[in-house]
Structure 1
Amino acid sequence: MLRYALKRALSLAISLIVASVVIFLVIEVAPGDPASFMLGVNARPDTVAALRSELGLDVSKFERYINWITGMARGDFGTSYAYRSPVRDMIAERMWVSLPLAFYALTLSTLIAFPAGIYAASRRGGAGDTAVMAATQLGVAIPNFWFAMISVLIFAINLRWFSAGGFPGWDKGLWTGMKALTLPAVALALPQAAILARVMRSSLLDMLGEDFIRTARAKGLTRRQTLWRHALRNALIPVLTIIGLQFSFLLAGAIIIEQVFFLPGLGRLVFQSISARDLIVVESVVMLLVFAVITVNFIVDLAYAAVDPRLRART
C-alpha cells in the first residue's frame, strides 16, 4: 500500500508542475496589459511603466513564473492588482463559502443517488427502475442554473422559506449559514445525483451478472444478501471515480450558481478578477482549484486500493 501511495504522490507532483506551467502560459498570453487596463486608455506611458514596475510586470515571464510558483510554495500568493490586498486572504475569505457549499452539495448528491441507484438496480425492469431512470434522465438533461432559478421562485419568492441570495456569514451562526447555502447546494446536487445514481445502478447490474455472484446465490444467499455483501462493495470503484470528479466540479464549477445566488465564493472571485484583468488572482485561484482536483483524484486512487486489494498487488 505504501509503494502504491508513493507512486501516486509522485504522479500528483508531476501533474501539479505541468498544470502550473500551462495555467501561467494560458493566462499570460491573454491580450491586454493589466496596468494599462487599470489606468485607462489616456494614461501616460511613464505612469503605466511605473505601475508595471510596482506590480512586478516589468520582468521576464520566466522570472514572474518562478516568483509566482515559489511564492505559492511558501503560502504567499502575491498581491491583487485591483484590490491591493493579499491574494491569500481573498482566497481564504471566499473559500469559507465555496468549500462548505461543495461538501453540502456532494453530501446531498450522495444521499440521493445511492438509495436511488441501489433501488433501481434491485428492481431491474420494474416500475421502480423505470421511474428512477426517468427522473435521472430529467436531472441530467436540465441544467443546474434552471434548478436554481426555479428553487428561488418557489422556495424564496412564493413560500419565503429561504432567502433569494447572498450569504450572511458564519458569524451569524451555523444554522443561518447552512440555510443560506441550502438552495444553491440543492441546485448543484440534483444534476450530480442523477449522474451518480445512473452510474451506481449500471455498476451494480454489472456486478450482479458476474460469476462470483451466481456462486454466492448457489450457496444459499438471498438476492438481498448477495447485493449488500458482495455486489455493492465491488460496484463502488466507478462510483468513487464519479464522486471524486463531482467534488472537483462542485468546488471549481459553481460560477453560474454563485452568480445566481450572489454568493461571495471562489467562482465569483474568478469571474470578477477576469473582468478586472487581475491576473495574479486568476492564476492563483485556478492553480488552487487544480491542486484540489488532483488531490481529490489522489485520495480516490487510495480509496480504490482500499476497496480493491488487486490494485495494490499490481504495483
Structure 2
Amino acid sequence: MLAYALKRLAFLAISLVVASLVIFLVVEVAPGDPASYMLGINARPDTVAALRAELGLDLPKHERYLSWLAGMLRGDFGTSYTYRAPVAQMVAERLWVSLPLALYALTLSTLIAFPAGIYAAARRGRAGDMGVMAATQLGIAVPNFWFAMLLVLLFALKLRWFSAGGFPGWETPLLGLKALTLPALALALPQAAILARVMRSSLIDILHEDFIRTARAKGLSRRQALWRHGVRNALIPVLTIIGLQFSFLLAGAIIIEQVFFLPGLGRLIFQAITQRDLIVVESVVMLLVFAVIAVNFLTDLAYAAADPRLRSRT
C-alpha cells in the first residue's frame, strides 16, 4: 500500500507542475495588457510602464513563472492588481462559501442518488426502474443553471421560502445554510442523476455475481442479499464518482454562484477575468486544480484500500 501511495503521490506532483505551466501560459497569451486595462485608454505611456514595473509585468515570462511558483509553494499567492489585497486572504474569505456549498451539494446528491439507484436496480425492467432512469436522463440533459432559475421562481419568488440570492455570512449558521440550499440543490440534481445511474449499473452487475447466488442458496431473500452483500460491494466504483463530483462541485460552480450572487471562488475568478487581474486568475485556478488532483489522489487511495487488486496492478 505504501509503494502504491508513493507512486500516486509522484504522479500528483508531476500533474501539479504541468498544470501550473499550462495555467500560466494560457493566462499569459490572453490578449490585452493588464496595466493598460487598469489605467484606461487615456493613460500616459510612462504611467503604464511604471505600473507594469510595479506589478512585475516587465520581467521575462520564465522569471515571472518561477517567482509565482515559488510563492505558491510558500503559501504566498501574490497581491491582487485590482483590490490591492493579498490573494490568499481573498481566497480564504471566498472559500468559506464555496467549500460548504460543494459539501452541501455533494451530501444532497448522495442522499438523492443512493436510494434512487438502489430502488432502480432492485426493480430492474419494471415501471419503477424506467421512471428513475427517465428522471436521471432528464437530470443529465438539463443544465444546472436552468434548475437554478426554476428553483428561484418556485421557492424564492412564489413560495418565498428562500431568498433569491446573496449570502448573509456564517454569524448565524442556519441563515447561511438556508442561503446555500437552493444553489446546492441546483448543483446536486444533475450530479445525483449521474450518481444514481452509476449506482444502478454497479449494483446490477454485483447481483449477477456468484457470491450473491451463494447467499440466496443459503436462504437469504433477494432483499437481504441486496442489502447485506450487494450494496456494499457496489460502492467501490461509486466512491470514485463521488470523488470526481466533489472536485467538479468545488471548481465548477461559477455559473451557479453568478446566478445566486454568492461571493465564492467561482465568482472571484469571473470578476478577476473581467478585470484582467492575472495573478488572481492564475492563483485561484491553480488552487482549484490542486484541490481536484488532491481529491482524486485520496479517492485512488480509498479505492485501493477497498480493492487490494488495484495495488498489484500498479
Report matched runs for 1:88-127 at 5 Å. Answer: 88-127=88-127
Structure 1 outlier segments of 4+, above 4 Å: none
Which position in structure 2 is the counterpart of 1:245?
A: 244
Amino acid at match of 2:89: D
Provide the C-alpha distance between the structure 2 equivalents of 1:278 and 1:61, rounded to a whole number of angstroms.
Answer: 16
Which position in structure 1 is the counterpart of 2:27?
A: 27
Provide the C-alpha distance between the structure 1 equivalents of 2:81 and 2:242, rounded to a whole number of angstroms.
Answer: 36
Which position in structure 1 is the counterpart of 2:176?
A: 177
Amino acid at match of 2:250: L
Task: Say how many residue pairs are matched.
Answer: 314
What are the superposed Cα offsets for residues 81-101 of structure 1, whole Å, 9 maximum, x if unpaired?
111110001111111000000
Amino acid at match of 2:243: G
Which position in structure 1 is the counterpart of 2:306?
A: 307
Provide the C-alpha distance between the structure 1 equivalents of 2:190 and 2:242, rounded to a whole number of angstroms.
Answer: 13
Which position in structure 1 is the counterpart of 2:204?
A: 205
Amino acid at match of 1:304: Y
- Alpha-carbon offset, residue 211 of structure 1: 2.8
- Alpha-carbon offset, residue 209 of structure 1: 1.7
Structure 2 residue matching 1:170: 3-state secondary structure: coil
Provide the C-alpha distance between the structure 2 equivalents of 1:7 and 1:266, rounded to a whole number of angstroms.
Answer: 31
Q: Percent identity?
A: 81
Provide the C-alpha distance between the structure 1 equivalents of 2:229 and 2:306, rounded to a whole number of angstroms.
Answer: 12
Provide the C-alpha distance between the structure 1 equivalents of 2:223 and 2:65, rounded to a whole number of angstroms.
Answer: 57
Report matched runs for 1:144-155 at 5 Å. Answer: 144-155=144-155
Provide the C-alpha distance between the structure 1 equivalents of 2:183 and 2:66, rounded to a whole number of angstroms.
Answer: 38
Which position in structure 2 is the counterpart of 1:278?
A: 277
Which position in structure 1 is the counterpart of 2:138?
A: 138
- Alpha-carbon offset, residue 161 of structure 1: 0.7
TM-score normalized by structure 1? Answer: 0.97
Provide the C-alpha distance between the structure 2 equivalents of 1:50 and 1:131, rounded to a whole number of angstroms.
Answer: 65
Contact kept, 8 Å, 1:167 with 1:180, in 2: the verdict is: yes
RMSD over aligned Cα, in angstroms? 1.2
Which position in structure 2 is the counterpart of 1:80?
A: 80
Could you tell me which runs of 5 or more consecutive residues in structure 1 were left unpaired when the two chains were aligned: none
Provide the C-alpha distance between the structure 2 equivalents of 1:225 and 1:7, rounded to a whole number of angstroms.
Answer: 40
Q: Which moved more, 1:293-302 or 1:235-244?
A: 235-244
Which position in structure 2 is the counterpart of 1:63?
A: 63
Provide the C-alpha distance between the structure 1 equivalents of 2:103 and 2:217, rounded to a whole number of angstroms.
Answer: 42
Amino acid at match of 2:143: P
Q: 1:309 to 1:233 in 2, by over 3 A?
A: farther
Which position in structure 2 is the counterpart of 1:192?
A: 191
Amino acid at match of 1:243: I
Contact kept, 8 Å, 1:234 with 1:308, in 2: the verdict is: no
Could you tell me which runs of 5 or more consecutive residues in structure 2 were left unpaired when the two chains were aligned: none
Which position in structure 2 is the counterpart of 1:297?
A: 296
Amino acid at match of 2:112: I
Structure 1 residue matching 2:261: 3-state secondary structure: coil
Provide the C-alpha distance between the structure 2 equivalents of 1:78 and 1:225, rounded to a whole number of angstroms.
Answer: 57
